[in-house]
């Protein structure tokens, strides 16, 4: 950064000299030309680093500056450490993404289980049914390597009262019916007579 300090010093000196020369002008007739010359001088001073860079070997100076930066323990010396930190950041990002995906699957499984529980309760009329759904990821055909959630397992738990009622009904063998329930009656089968030809069955027996 020594060249930057020298360039700033030159620029400040030129500006001060221009102000001093403008003060020494005897009349205002030459003030316009003096300002033009001084402005060009200030502009050349500002562009001097670019001119020197174009005149010299830019690649050589750049390599020298990079070598000095590396010797002083700047950015290049910590490249290995920076690469390790980058790998750690990427690993943390992958872990966070996996955790978010797992949490999303859990929420989706709870939503599907709730819908199944409502459907089963509405179909059977039983209360207290518990449905557990497990979701997993699987590659769907036609979507390349993209993974989609699929149902891997469904567990339905009936309430204890429903299980006891079904077991009691099986042991009693249907001898006693619950209070308020009408017994099931089976009507006898009426015999069917098939007639072939004319006349009634009584006439044919005669």
> Among positive and negative, which fits the CA dihedral 102, 104, 107, 112?
negative
pLDDT in tens, 33-51: 777 777 887 787 777 777 6
Contact 133, 116 (CB under 8 A): yes
pLDDT, residue 189, reads: 52
Q: Do the domain assignments include residue 194?
A: no
Range of the domain at 24: 1-68
pLDDT in tens, 149-169: 788 888 888 777 655 555 555
What band does 180 get if pLDDT is binned at 50, 70 and 90?
Answer: very low
Contact 163, 157 (CB under 8 A): no
pLDDT in tens, 181-195: 455 555 555 565 656
Q: Do the domain assignments include residue 50?
A: yes
CA 47, 11, 51 angle in degrees (round to 5)?
20
Summary mean pLDDT of the chain: 70
Q: Which two tokens stand for residue 1?
A: 């950064």
Q: Do the domain assignments include residue 6?
A: yes
Q: Do the domain assignments include residue 52?
A: yes
Which uninterrupted H or E stretch holds 99? helix 79-124
Q: Do the domain assignments include residue 114?
A: no
Q: Do the domain assignments include residue 19?
A: yes
pLDDT in tens, 111-134: 888 888 888 888 888 888 888 888
pLDDT, residue 185, reads: 55
The pTM of the full predicted model, rounded to 2 decimals, is 0.36
Q: What is the count of structural domains for the chain?
A: 1
Q: Do the domain assignments include residue 202?
A: no
Q: Which two tokens stand for residue 186?
A: 């089976």
Q: Do the domain assignments include residue 41?
A: yes
């Amino acid at each position: 950064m020594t060249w930057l300090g020298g360039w700033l010093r030159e620029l400040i000196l030129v500006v001060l000299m221009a102000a001093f020369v403008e003060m020494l002008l005897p009349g205002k007739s030459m003030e316009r030309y003096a300002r033009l010359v001084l402005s060009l001088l200030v502009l050349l001073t500002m562009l001097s680093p670019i001119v020197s860079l174009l005149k010299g070997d830019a690649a050589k100076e750049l390599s020298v500056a990079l070598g000095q930066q590396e010797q002083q323990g700047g950015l290049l010396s910590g490249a290995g450490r920076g690469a390790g930190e980058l790998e750690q950041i990427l690993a943390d990002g992958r872990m966070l993404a996996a955790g978010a995906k797992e949490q999303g699957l859990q929420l989706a499984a709870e939503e599907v289980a709730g819908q199944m529980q409502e459907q089963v309760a509405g179909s059977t009329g039983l209360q207290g049914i518990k449905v557990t759904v497990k979701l997993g990821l699987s590659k769907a055909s036609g979507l390349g390597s993209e993974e989609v959630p699929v149902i891997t397992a469904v567990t339905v738990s009936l309430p204890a009262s429903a299980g006891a009622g079904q077991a009691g009904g099986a042991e009693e063998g249907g001898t006693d019916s619950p209070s308020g329930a009408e017994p099931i009656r089976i009507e006898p089968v009426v015999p069917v007579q098939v007639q072939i030809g004319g006349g009634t069955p009584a006439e044919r027996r005669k």
